[in-house]
Each structure stands twice: as structure tokens, then as C-alpha cells.
Amino acid sequence: MSQPAFGVMIFVTDESIQPVELARAVEERGLDSLFVPEHTHMPLDSKSPFFPDGQVPPPYKRTYDPFVVLGACAAVTERIRLGTGICLVSQRHPITLAKEVATLDRMSQGRFIFGIGAGWNKPEVENHWVEFARRWRVVRERVLAMKTIWSEDEPEFHGEYVDFDKMWSYPKPVQPGGPPIWIGANSKYAAARVAEYADGWIPIGGRGGEGSIEQVREACAARGRKPEDITLALFFAPLDEAKVRAEIAGGYSHFIFGLPSAPAAEVLPVLDQVAALVERLRG
């Protein structure tokens, strides 16, 4: 069994630590990965049951574009994996997104992890002309279309939500067939989606949901896939040694700790706490 990997995620904004500074600091401390999320915008009627008062926190309104951020981070690092945590595929055109992903994978020399999701914010999704109830169907088809673009010299795709004739689209990703795709969702439907078209699962730690590792394993077995080929990553992992060790025993292999969306003076001490915890876990 390979050793677990440890990384961090942050809502990088125009009011937070510069992502380039953070990427260097993550690599200097021996961590394995850096993830950034995505929100194209926040409609004024956005609400979520996941927030204590139902209101959207300020960082969600000011989030940078993840591909621009990760491209900059790739230029100043050599080792850490760089990931979207998560990219809202329901809000992006698949031909354009396939190009962005392939470009970033090449610029980072194959270090990109493509964390994806469909989005929780109904008005945000529907501002992109995607019916909220169908968003996961749209995501599935766009992912399958992108996989075709990444793996074929003259790809074509004809589906319900994506349709294009033979074309050329380069560059291709460094990682054959495209970077690993990790699905970020806690629902009971996540396992089947992971088994069909993804390489990993990144549920949010501490958030309720009907998804489970056992469901992922069963869904993979039903499709003839080896469960051990699926990365089980825990998003917003607890900053607690005993709890992380328990999650390792349960099957998780990549832990992503949350950092505050704040200036460097507040972020770097938390990053040091993460690094100290990781050192104990590796020891």
C-alpha cells in the first residue's frame, strides 16, 4: 500500500494570500498538493443550507479563475500536484475546457488533478444555460466528450448535450487520456458516477451525505474496475492526528486540509500547523 498524500485547499481571491506565494510555501513544506475552487460569479439570490446563516461568505464572491491561478503556480513549483477543488463543469464549454485542461497539464508537466462537480448554486448554474435538475447529466456528457478530445487525433462526439463533428484539438495532455478526474460530491449517486467516468472521489469531510467508500467499491466492482485504482481523497480533512489516522485505516489516501481565505500573515501559520501534523503522520 502506497503512503498517503497530503495537501491543502484555499479560496484564493484578490483579498487573500497571493497564490504564487502560497504554492511556493506548500512545496517548501514538503506537502503534496494544492487545490483551488471555482465560482464564475455569485447571483444575489444565492443561498445554501451549508452556510450557518444561509448567506454566501465573501470569498465565494471573489474567487479567482482556477486555471489562471494553477498555471501561475505551475510556473513556480516543480513537484506538488495542482488541482481544481472543484471545477464546475456544468458551467464551462467542453471544447474550451478540454483545451484549458490539456494546456495546464502540459505546463505543469503532468501534475494536474481535475477535480470536478456540477454545482450546488441553482441560479449560478442556470445563468450558464444549464437546467439545474439536469446538471449532472450535462457534466457526464461533457466529461466523456473531453476524454474523447484528449485521446483521439480526430475526435468527434454526438450526444444530447454535446455535439461536434471530427476536428483537431491540440495539445493533448501529458497524462495519457487526460489527467485523473476526481468527483466532488457527497450524495448516494456519486459512487456510480465515479465508477463510470472518474478516477477518484473527494467528498467534503464533516458534511452529511449518503455516499460512502463501500458504495464506491461496489460500483467499481459492478463495472469491472479495480477499487484500488480509485483515489479516495478527503476534502477539508480534519486537522486532528487521531481522526486522520482513522480515515487512513478506513481507506482514504489523499487528505486535503482547508486554509483560511486570508492574507499571508493568517494563512502561513495554519499551513505550518498542517505541515507539522503531516510530519507526525509520516513519522
pLDDT digits 0-9 by tens, 120-146:
999 999 999 999 999 999 999 999 999
Neighbours of 77 (CB within 10 A): 19
Rounded to an integer, the average pLDDT of 227-238 is 96
One-letter amino acid of 219: A
Enumerate the H helices of the chain as residue ranges: 19-28, 58-61, 66-75, 94-107, 122-126, 135-151, 190-197, 213-222, 241-250, 264-282
Kindly tell me the sign of the dihedral angle through the C-alpha atoms of 19, 24, 27, 29. Answer: negative
What pLDDT is stored for residue 210 in this prediction?
Answer: 84
Mean pLDDT in the chain? 96
Query: Is the bond into 230 cis (omega within 30 degrees of 0)?
Result: no
Task: Label the pairing between strands 81-88 and 33-36.
Answer: parallel
Listed in sequence order, the residues at least 6 apart from 252 whose beta carbon sits closer than 8 Å to its beta carbon are 4, 213, 232, 233, 234
C-alpha Rg value of the chain to the nearest Å: 18
Kindly tell me the sign of the dihedral angle through the C-alpha atoms of 15, 17, 19, 20. Answer: positive
Rounded to an integer, the average pLDDT of 150-156 is 98
Rounded to an integer, the average pLDDT of 157-166 is 98
Q: What percent of the chain lies above the pLDDT cut of 70?
A: 100
Backbone angles phi, psi at 51, to 5 degrees: -100, 140
Identify the CATH homologous superfamily for domain 5-282.
Luciferase-like domain (3.20.20.30)
pLDDT tier at 205, thresholds 50, 70, 90: confident
Report DSSP state, residue 63: B
Kindly tell me the sign of the dihedral angle through the C-alpha atoms of 18, 184, 119, 177. Answer: positive
pLDDT tier at 1, thresholds 50, 70, 90: low
> Residue 51: pLDDT above 80?
no
Rounded to an integer, the average pLDDT of 265-278 is 98
Backbone angles phi, psi at 173, to 5 degrees: -65, 155
pLDDT tier at 54, thresholds 50, 70, 90: confident
Rounded CA gap, 181 and 146, in Å? 11
pLDDT tier at 48, thresholds 50, 70, 90: confident
> Residue 20: pLDDT above 90?
yes
> Under a CB-based contact definition with an 8 Å cutoff, are residues 261 and 16 in contact?
yes
Rounded CA gap, 40 and 121, in Å? 11
pLDDT tier at 47, thresholds 50, 70, 90: confident
Backbone angles phi, psi at 244, to 5 degrees: -65, -40
Report DSSP state, residue 52: T
Neighbours of 229 (CB within 10 A): 9
pLDDT digit string (tens) for 75-130? 999 999 999 999 999 999 999 999 999 999 999 999 999 999 999 999 999 999 99
